[in-house]
Structure 1
Amino acid sequence: MNLADLTAIELLAKYRDGSVSPVEVMDAVLARVDELEPQICALYALDREGARAAAQESERRWREGTAGALDGVPVTVKENIATRGTPVPQGTAATELIPAAEDAPAAARLRAAGAVIFSKTTMPEYGMLSSGVSTFHRLTRNPWDLSKTAGGSSAGAAAAAAAGYGPIHVGTDIGGSIRLPAGWCGLVGLKPTHGRIAVGNPYPGRAIGPLTRTAGDAALALSVMSGYDPRDHTSIPVASDNFEVDLQGLRVALLLDAGVGLPVDPEVTAAVSATAAVLEKVGAIVEPIAPIITREMLDGLDRFWRVRSATDIAALPEERRAKVLPQIREWVSTAGDLSGFDVFHGYSQMGAMAAAVGQVFTSYDVILSPVAPITAFPAELAYPTDDPSKPFEHIAFTVPYNMSQHPATTVNATWSTTGLPIAAQLAVPHHQDLKALALADYLTKPHPWPLA
């Protein structure tokens, strides 16, 4: 086994017994990057010298018995999670490149635990696409099939994880931006309970979470990054949930129809149904449920985000505004046609989604669904619809949990007939993040990872 493919849990065990050095592991990861990055294009601001120096410092801490919880583990963070000294372009050429003054809370906690943050990862334009299309970064591709998208907006994080650029990668999620790429790349991707990982610049629905190849590594990363930070007024103290779940009598709501958006591919339906059958066989009580959200909710969300993005873009100088991706400019071009009533009503639909999800959890312990209605679409498309006027038709299974602030994770369910990952999503009540990961751990079966 190549050292780059070992899990974080495996690496820590080998560091502890002295059979492997963090320097050796970092060299293996950088060799993998050299091999695959020209095709995958997952990284931004790769710091080879800094990574090797940090690995050497970690090696010293292990010798001295002062190693932290993630000491020497290679980690990437999405480029919109600030790291001191690195600009935060947000995936667009329209951003002024100013080095960040300090680490964001999640990055700071990773460093404090000894993790080696060796690179940032790519994202699409303003994080508003479920693809890797960007005017700043090269086009990120899916390691399972280079003609397909890795998803987004945590595009580089998912591609790096699937390609074996070390075990832990950190992304952000405001409508599915961790779970969609994790699902399309065959990964475990967790959107935690809102506030469990401090964001630093909070916004309704926005969360930070890990993308990993195993649920155990996701749980480990979550434990390191969790906790209150005064820079994020929505952050919360560390929860006391456990990485365990009792399947006997577990009440599972099976959601196969989002009620809105793209039709669900029959292969996706079959994969999620098969996952439900696995849980039912070991004692869970599985019941189909009707759609949770409505067309009005999804369209309202679109109107609110459209105006929000239009406001941000309008504030740019004209020469920078012209650099914004044309599809994004087209999407926001109709924002001026919306009234204050339209915008307020759109904002209210976030609460309506939250209430609808909360009602389901009064009767069920888990909501099992597809992550996306389709498998990964062509890499060059900004949206699966290829239509800027219909940008959210693929997020109806993911976005409700951003609005309701519930944790939700992905687990690879099977493979399509064309060899692409098909994922299931597991959403659970607030503060039961580790329960979701324990379910994913139970459902995950070992399989080889792609080398593009």
Structure 2
Amino acid sequence: MSELHTLGATQLLRAYMARQLSPVEVMQAVLDLAARWEPQLHATYLLRPEAALEQARASEARWQQRAPQGWLDGVPATIKDNIATAGDPTPLGTAATALVPAAADAPPAARLREAGALLWSKTTMPDFGMLSSGLSSFHATARNPWDLSKGPGGSSAGAGAAAAAGYGPLHVGTDIGGSIRLPASWCGIVGFKPSLGRIPIDPPYTGRCAGPMTRSVEDAALMMMVLAQPDARDCMALPPQFIAWEQLDTGLERLRGLRFGLLLDAGCGLPVAPEVRQAIEHAATLLEKAGAIVEPMAPFLTRDMLDGMDHFWRMRSHMDLQALPAAQQDKVLPFIRQWADSADGLTAAALFAAQHQFFRTRQATVQACAAFDYVLSPVAPITAFDAQLASPTNDPLRPLEHIAFTVPFNMSEQPSISVPCAQSAQGLPIGLQITGPRFDDLGVLQMARAFEQLRAPLPPYPSAPAALQRDMAQAAPQTTAIAADPIPVPAAV
């Protein structure tokens, strides 16, 4: 059997059902791996090994009694810092936040816990989630396991690094402008931003989504079965709807005749690096050979739109910081403070004009996509950048130059996924973004699964540094297969 930390959620559930594995040995394997990676990666927050093993033992007892609690019983999972978990502080990645225990689980955490997932750690993020990096005034700087000199992206920084490093199969991030898809692309994993409201979240906000970060589309779809359950706390949640999330493999059959727009120029922001462009063009060619119709797509995002959203978010952050005591303001990452404080002189008229760009972006995005069934594009115009930089430009007055391919689909509320498609000459991952019409979350997952089946094999995920591998070999848990004795489990597993 493969190393336990590399197994997908569906593989684990089948092994539990067949009594070939125990949640305890799986959780221990993940903890052992994390203990060896963490001095380099800094992906975790509130990592509690004993509490994790206690959950695993309870899950093991349920499986022994042939009574699994839910779809994810015994599967290790992490939650991003900014998703509240009962009794834990929610620092939002910044030293400026008072560490007050949360009164209750936020919806994504509640759904995972109800489904029996082992919530063994939270994951790191930058200050207030307003960076696409792992730089934080509260957490140690997160790193990219493919190259420790690079960052994992953000703001779901720790989740991206954890998934790529093998910290179990399931991770939850959040995304308001690309914060799931960017780290997914730069870490070589799958990151799915669903239609706004598909996964209830608290607090809700324009464009803000929670979503799965996994190594496979199959595991992302399995998470959607659990996360896309109703919760009254989200005033923007979609009505409950039955969706056959397990029906992924129909994507290849559906490809023939589907129209894909190929967007290689976002209209503004950083230019697309040649290696990234080549990778996306090759991905489009694979889909075309499988029967899809691929047509060039004109850019639609403008400099006014991107700058308007930036200026509005600056003012929002400026007001949030002004509400803090001066001593707490001084603890915020200097890049964030400079960015936010630059809005101090923004007039009411300028702020109104900035806010209007959200609607203009939404309108332009929906109109541009209307001619196509799905849209293909880069996730980011570049590969992962230096871990010590706050953004690719490292300029607080030009902070969003890398999100021009992702942020439009937050504003239009469309489902959008990053799926690994290639690696650069330096061995850094490149993600393909596939976007569909609003509410067609399953269709986007099906297209991503079809691409997984069409692409050539990618290099294996990075292992722990060589000096640590010897320790891991000595500490690796020994597993003994037990004669299969089927245990009832939900049919889609």
Q: TM-score, normalised by structure 2?
A: 0.90
* Partner amino acid, structure 1, of 2:50: E
Partner of 1:315: 323
Written as runs of structure 1 = structure 2, the 5 A alignment for 1:37-436 is: 37-67=38-68, 68-242=70-244, 243=248, 244-245=250-251, 246-436=254-444
- Tell whether 2:25 aligns with 1:17: no
What is the distance in 2 between the residues matched to 1:240 and 1:426?
23
CA deviation map 1:236-257 (0-9, x unaligned)? 2344444333000111000000
Q: Give the conservation status (yes or no) of the 8 Å contact 1:371–1:425.
A: yes
What is the distance in 2 between the residues matched to 1:64 and 1:135?
46
What is the distance in 1 between the residues matched to 2:353 and 2:411?
15
Q: Give the conservation status (yes or no) of the 8 Å contact 2:200–2:234.
A: yes
CA RMSD of aligned residues (A): 1.0
- Unaligned ranges ≥5, structure 1: none
Which secondary structure does the structure 2 equivalent of 1:341 belong to? helix
What is the distance in 1 between the residues matched to 2:212 and 2:82?
14
Q: 1:241 to 1:247 in 2, by over 3 A?
A: farther
Bigger mean CA deviation after superposition, 327-336 or 81-90: 327-336
CA deviation map 1:223-270 (0-9, x unaligned)? 101022111111123444443330001110000000100011000000
Partner of 1:450: 462
* Partner amino acid, structure 2, of 1:301: M
Q: Give the conservation status (yes or no) of the 8 Å contact 1:227–1:237.
A: no
Bigger mean CA deviation after superposition, 123-132 or 224-233: 224-233
* Partner amino acid, structure 1, of 2:259: R
* Partner amino acid, structure 2, of 1:356: A
Q: Give the conservation status (yes or no) of the 8 Å contact 2:93–2:137.
A: yes
* Partner amino acid, structure 2, of 1:99: P
What is the distance in 2 between the residues matched to 1:281 and 1:13?
34
What is the distance in 2 between the residues matched to 1:70 and 1:238?
20
What is the distance in 2 between the residues matched to 1:351 and 1:62?
50
CA deviation map 1:201-234 (0-9, x unaligned)? 0010100001000000000001101022111111
Aligned residue pair count: 452
Which secondary structure does the structure 1 equivalent of 2:191 belong to? strand
* Partner amino acid, structure 2, of 1:450: P
* Partner amino acid, structure 1, of 2:313: W
Q: Give the conservation status (yes or no) of the 8 Å contact 2:393–2:399.
A: yes
Partner of 1:5: 6
| Cα distance, 1:438 vs structure 2 | 1.7
Which secondary structure does the structure 1 equivalent of 2:255 belong to? coil
Bigger mean CA deviation after superposition, 238-247 or 7-16: 238-247
- Tell whether 2:32 aligns with 1:31: yes
Q: Give the conservation status (yes or no) of the 8 Å contact 2:194–2:415.
A: yes
* Partner amino acid, structure 1, of 2:334: P
What is the distance in 2 between the residues matched to 1:241 and 1:348?
34
Partner of 2:487: none
Which secondary structure does the structure 2 equivalent of 1:354 belong to? helix
Between the two proteins, what is the percent identity of the paired residues?
A: 55
What is the distance in 1 between the residues matched to 2:257 and 2:367?
20
Which secondary structure does the structure 1 equivalent of 2:150 belong to? strand
* Partner amino acid, structure 1, of 2:447: L
CA deviation map 1:347-370 (0-9, x unaligned)? 111111111121133210111000
What is the distance in 2 between the residues matched to 1:288 and 1:153?
30
What is the distance in 1 between the residues matched to 2:33 and 2:407?
34
What is the distance in 1 between the residues matched to 2:415 and 2:101?
32
* Partner amino acid, structure 2, of 1:316: L
What is the distance in 2 between the residues matched to 1:403 and 1:117?
31
Q: TM-score, normalised by structure 1?
A: 0.99
Which secondary structure does the structure 2 equivalent of 1:119 belong to? strand
Moved over 4 A (4+): none
